[in-house]
């Protein structure tokens, strides 16, 4: 290649913003319920949770979605708590349907946090979501059922995957959780980078550079484990606190990123380097885990961070789910 051609090539590379550079190595997922943000950043997939839907549902732009969900539920002849619950689930799916008009790939819809310890309740709700999507012409291949990575949640995912219902395992903070999800053949996991960092900062009083970030290191280890042992479960890094964390995980299968951080990436043209790759992971020195329920529960008990953050995450999502139901009830009055 001539010097002039090389200079032209370098100029082309550096004029790409970091978001476009990142899209070469990782599939980008929007972590929001705001449909307008998805149009701006053009992600391939999108993921939601009770917290994000609560925020979006209170925006006047999306009042029509709540109205439609309410109308459809009332046609079922429901009343009281049953009516509220039905509207709630229809609202989650309504946001999913709107999102799927924008993203070319998949949307994640989350099962109720208060069902996180009941295999059958998780399975039943997942099937209800899939049925609602199907009634609106959306096949299950475009939907991920989001489930907390409890032992029961992982067992529910195993049953659902056997029926061709793909699962996104959320509130995941440890290698044992990730290993168990892979053995259950979950389609995807969402390890929470930022919440791991939050715990360590709170408990050590330290600040961490991106290269030393405990959340980043956790996802790196999980990625290496999956690729070394040929697990097909996809790794989607989630819950980022800063762009530095994202850059250190460039190459992860997927990343779900908030609109604010997507905006920062879009503004920068600093060259971005791929940090994770299957070939590199194959050379890692990591041992395979053998897990059953007692072993899983013991390892979780030994990991204070994973235990506390999983429990806290379920509580927070449950609180926001209750707020969303309260919001629905106020509109019903």
Task: Please give the pLDDT value at position 12.
Answer: 47
Residues 170-213: tens digit of each pLDDT: 999 999 999 999 999 999 999 999 999 999 999 999 999 999 99
How buried is residue 105: exposed, middle or buried, by Cβ count under 10 Å (0-12/13-18/19+)?
middle
Contact 168, 238 (CB under 8 A): no
Is residue 227 part of the annotated active site? The answer reads no
Burial letters for 238-247: b for 16+ Cβ neighbours within 10 Å, e otherwise? bbbbebebbb
Contact 119, 155 (CB under 8 A): yes
CA-nearest of 81, 84, 107 to 94 is: 107
Task: Please give the pLDDT value at position 3.
Answer: 52
Tell me the mean pLDDT in the region 72-90.
94
pTM of the model: 0.91
Residue with tokens 């079922």: 76
Beta carbons within 10 angstroms of residue 204's beta carbon: 10
Read off the pLDDT band of 15 (50, 70, 90). confident
Domain architecture of the chain: domains with CATH: 26-332 (3.20.20.70)
Residue 34 pLDDT more than 90? no
Read off the pLDDT band of 8 (50, 70, 90). very low
Tell me the mean pLDDT in the region 256-283.
96
Percent of the chain scored above 70 by pLDDT? 96
Read off the pLDDT band of 7 (50, 70, 90). very low
Q: Which tokens sit at 236?
A: 């989607």
Task: Flag the least confident range among 31-45, 56-70, 77-91, 313-327.
Answer: 31-45
Read off the pLDDT band of 11 (50, 70, 90). very low
Task: Please give the pLDDT value at position 169.
Answer: 98
Instruction: Give the bridge partners for 31, in sequence order.
Output: 47
Helix (H) or strand (E) holding 286: none
Percent of the chain scored above 90 by pLDDT? 85
Task: Flag the least confident range among 75-79, 167-171, 233-237.
Answer: 75-79
Burial letters for 308-324: b for 16+ Cβ neighbours within 10 Å, e otherwise? ebbeebbebbbebbeeb
Query: What is the DSSP annotation of 49-108?
Result: -HHHHHHHHTSGGGHHHHHHHHHHHHTTT--HHHHHHHHHHHHHHHHHHHHHTT-SS-EE
Task: Please give the pLDDT value at position 122.
Answer: 98
Distance of CA 314 to the CA centre of its chain: 14
Residue 247 pLDDT more than 70? yes
CA-nearest of 226, 172, 228 to 195 is: 172
Determine which one of 146, 187, 227, 325 is catalytic. 146
How far, in Å, are 27, 77, 126, 162, 253 from residue 102 at the CA level?
16, 33, 23, 29, 21
45 vs 47: CA distance, rounded Å: 7
What average pLDDT does the structure give for the chain?
93
**Interacting residues of 34 by C-beta distance below 8 A, sequence separation 6+:** 55, 56, 59, 259
Tell me the mean pLDDT in the region 305-332.
95
Distance of CA 193 to the CA centre of its chain: 11
Contact 251, 26 (CB under 8 A): yes
């Amino acid at each position: 290649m001539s010097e002039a051609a090389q200079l032209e090539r370098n100029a082309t590379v550096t004029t790409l913003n970091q978001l476009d550079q990142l899209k070469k190595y990782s599939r980008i997922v929007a972590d929001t319920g705001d449909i307008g943000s998805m149009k701006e950043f053009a992600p391939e997939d999108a993921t939601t949770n009770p917290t994000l839907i609560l925020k979006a549902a209170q925006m006047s732009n999306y009042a029509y979605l709540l109205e439609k969900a309410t109308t459809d539920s009332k046609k079922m002849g429901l009343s009281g708590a049953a009516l509220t619950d039905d509207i709630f689930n229809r609202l989650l799916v309504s946001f999913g349907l709107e999102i799927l008009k924008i993203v070319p790939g998949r949307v994640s819809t989350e099962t109720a946090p208060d069902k996180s310890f009941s295999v059958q309740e998780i399975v039943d709700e997942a099937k209800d979501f899939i049925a609602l999507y199907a009634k609106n012409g959306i096949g299950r291949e475009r939907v991920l059922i989001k489930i907390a990575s409890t032992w029961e949640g992982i067992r529910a995912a195993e049953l659902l995957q056997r029926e061709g219902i793909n699962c996104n395992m959320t509130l995941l903070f440890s290698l044992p959780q990730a290993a168990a999800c892979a053995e259950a053949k979950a389609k995807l996991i969402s390890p929470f980078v930022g919440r791991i960092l939050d715990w360590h900062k709170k408990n050590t009083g330290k600040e961490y550079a991106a290269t030393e970030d405990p959340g980043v290191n956790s996802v790196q280890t999980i990625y290496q484990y999956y690729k070394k042992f040929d697990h097909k479960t996809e790794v989607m890094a989630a819950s980022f606190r800063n762009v530095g964390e994202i850059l250190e995980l460039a190459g992860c299968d997927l990343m779900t990123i908030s609109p604010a951080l997507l905006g920062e990436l879009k503004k920068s043209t600093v060259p971005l380097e791929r940090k994770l790759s299957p070939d590199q992971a194959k050379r890692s020195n990591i041992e395979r885990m053998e897990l059953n329920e007692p072993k899983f529960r013991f390892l979780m008990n030994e990991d204070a961070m994973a235990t506390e953050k999983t429990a806290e995450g379920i509580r927070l999502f449950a609180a926001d789910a209750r707020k969303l139901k309260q919001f629905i009830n106020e509109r019903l009055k």
